[in-house]
Amino acid sequence: MMESKIAESLTKAVKTLYQQDVKPDIFQLQKTRPEFEGDLTVVVFPLLRLSHKAPEATATELGKWLTEQMEEVTGFNVIKGFLNLEIADAFWLRFFKEAAENEKFGFKSEQNDPPVVIEYSSPNTNKPLHLGHVRNNLLGWSVAEILRAGGKKVFKVNLVNDRGIHICKSMLAWKKWGKEKTPGTSGQKGDKLVGDFYVLFDKKYKEQIAGLVKQGMDEKEAAQNAPLILEAKEMLVKWEAGDEEVRKLWNEMNSWVYAGFDTTYQRMGIDFDKIYYESQTYLLGKALVNEGLEKEIFFRKEDGSVWCDLTDEGLDEKLLLRADGTSVYMTQDLGTAQLRYDDYHPQKLMYVVGNEQNYHFDVLKRVLKKLGKSWAEGIYHLSYGMVELPHGKMKSREGTVVDADDLMEEMANTARKTSEELGKFDDFTPEESIRLYEMIGMGALKYFILKVDPKKTMLFNPKESIDFNGNTGSFIQYTHARIRSVLRKAKASGITPDKENITGLSLEKKEKSLIRWLYDFPQIISAAAEAYSPAQIANYSYELAKEFNQFYHELSILKEENPAKRDFRLMLSDFTSQVLRSAMGLLGIELPERM
């Protein structure tokens, strides 16, 4: 990399000019801001204690030394404490010729290190996936792909929350009011059908609470003693005891939900290397809790419930098993963590879960450490902000969630309406149009969500996400289609670019600027992998697309009279489309050949 080479030369310059020994990492190099001349900028201020001179004088001395000692540095200018260096066209052309031939440019080979296991999705089998799950899935999948691009071995896993009181609520409601309804008889997607019964349970439950309150019972007491909730708790106990009838209904209703989930995942472009089920991990969690009891790490209260005391670590007491012996989320998470460690021996166990669960994962890590699990240090909670809507927060129990399937359908319809209003795609066949609307709609959805830093809460507005001119997936897709159109026209004209023609070219400002953006791609992947942030890839893609459009408008490509320049610009355009596909592919976004 040119940055590291310059840093090495600067260490020699400081030794020669100021008789000081320094390490290369002391130097701060960054891309030169567009309003100034230059390619790379050295921040001089940290060096003043070595030179004992003014910023401008120090920068000038270092600039002169570099231009004399490095053939790649052809000039410099000084703006206060910033040394802007001009890098030789020959360097950029050499980089371009090598990189453009590499189909995996920017991607590192897989390292021979322990893997990263990343969990995302984690749905409950009592409701369909909603907008919150969409952000979770897109973020988890993209982070996994970015880590792989950065050279990590990654396993993508899902934990299905298929047992517990919330599942029993849907089962009980179906048993009481379902009238044998199935996805086949109702024509309803299985996860939606089960979700409707979860909402119905909540409605009937609230009615019972209100009735008990009217009879003079305290509201909290009424919530604990309403007949429906008592029946649901009894069903959970029967489930954990292996009751045949309860298990049969549970298996059947879960199978409806899994079929629904698969359809949603397929449209979303989400996959997993392995799926875990809470029903298969909670027993291991119980075993770990019992182990902790035997070692007196945990304690049992008078009602029979089991707890972990974390007050000495500034937290509180954490419930691990209820008084009736049934599990809580923490129980199964202990078992799942142990199972994953046994399966993969990973360097990191990553959980993609919303920020409302920050405390839960802090406790999980501490409880495992108390159990003597040294690998618990590798637990990492990739905490992300919630997705909000213009009309407020979503509530599953009340049925006010934005269904993931409905959202994806709305995005495709919005893409169709926007395109028709703009008069685009009039020459497409109906089949081509449908395929393209889906590509644009899903691209808009994924980009709008992933361009936001994961830690931030975001407001999602479908209409704003499809704009062929703004910082959107649609704009990047349109830019890619524009590039492919230019290349098709060149091919139709019989133009076959020859890379041997470009040696010794003098680069225009916009050509060099575009190459510099392409040159940054490997560093962007590395930075995004380190920060677990698809937003860095998304915003790089936008800047690259924007840079190409400026290049396209300022310089002629097909009408350029100099064959060498024309060939170079065609090859540069082709390489740009390749990098855009690679970058957007890390976000799960397809780019069309034409629009």
pLDDT in tens, 132-150: 899 999 999 999 999 999 9
Q: What angle do CA 102, 30, 70 make, to 5 degrees?
A: 75
pLDDT value at position 424?
Answer: 65
- Report the C-alpha gap between 273 and 254 in whole angstroms: 20
Residues 6+ apart with CB under 8 A from 75: 67, 85, 86
- Report the C-alpha gap between 51 and 530 in whole angstroms: 34
Range of weakest confidence among 15-24, 61-70, 242-251, 465-474: 465-474
- Report the C-alpha gap between 516 and 92 in whole angstroms: 8
pLDDT value at position 400?
Answer: 53
Phi and psi at residue 401, to the nearest 5°: -80, 160
Mean pLDDT of 200-222: 95
311 DSSP 8-state letter:
G
- Percentage of the chain modeled with pLDDT above 90: 83
β-bridge partners, 73: 87
Q: Is the dihedral of CA 190, 191, 192, 195 positive or negative?
A: positive
Quick check: 40 and 85 in contact, CB under 8 A?
Answer: yes
Range of weakest confidence among 436-450, 457-471, 522-536: 457-471
DSSP conformation letters of 238-272: HHHTT-HHHHHHHHHHHHHHHHHHHHHHHHHT---
Quick check: 476 and 468 in contact, CB under 8 A?
Answer: no
Place of tokens 């004399």: 68
What does the pLDDT look like over 375-408, one tens digit per residue? 999 999 999 998 877 654 444 444 456 889 988 9
pLDDT value at position 595?
Answer: 83
Residue 425 clears pLDDT 80, i.e. is over it: no
- Report the C-alpha gap between 521 and 575 in whole angstroms: 12
Residue 508 clears pLDDT 80, i.e. is over it: yes
Q: Is the dihedral of CA 223, 224, 229, 231 positive or negative?
A: negative
Distances (CA, A) of 327 to 35, 278, 288, 316, 480: 61, 10, 12, 19, 51
- Percentage of the chain modeled with pLDDT above 70: 97
Res. 294 pLDDT band, cuts 50 70 90: very high
**The two three-digit tokens of residue 35, written as one number:** 């309003």
pLDDT value at position 273?
Answer: 97
- Report the C-alpha gap between 529 and 350 in whole angstroms: 13
pLDDT value at position 483?
Answer: 97
pLDDT value at position 398?
Answer: 45
Provide the pairing of β-strand 299-300 with 306-309.
Answer: antiparallel
Query: Domains plus CATH for the chain?
Result: 2-87 (3.30.1360.70), 120-388 (3.40.50.620), 405-585 (1.10.730.10)
Residue 125 clears pLDDT 90, i.e. is over it: yes
Residue 522 clears pLDDT 70, i.e. is over it: yes
Torsion angle of the four alpha carbons 5, 530, 367, 361, in this order, in degrees rounded to the nearest 10: 160
What does the pLDDT look like over 547-562, one tens digit per residue? 999 999 999 999 999 9
What does the pLDDT look like over 1-27, one tens digit per residue? 899 999 999 999 999 999 999 999 899
What does the pLDDT look like over 163-208, one tens digit per residue? 889 999 999 999 999 999 999 999 999 999 999 999 999 999 999 9
Quick check: 88 and 6 in contact, CB under 8 A?
Answer: no
- Report the C-alpha gap between 484 and 506 in whole angstroms: 25
Q: At what angle do helices 534-554 and 521-531 cross, to 10 degrees?
A: 160
Provide the pairing of β-strand 40-43 with 82-87.
Answer: antiparallel
pLDDT value at position 501?
Answer: 80
Tally DSSP H helices, then E strands, for the chain. Answer: 22, 14
Range of weakest confidence among 163-172, 317-326, 448-457, 461-470: 461-470
What does the pLDDT look like over 304-336, one tens digit per residue? 999 999 999 999 999 999 998 888 889 999 999
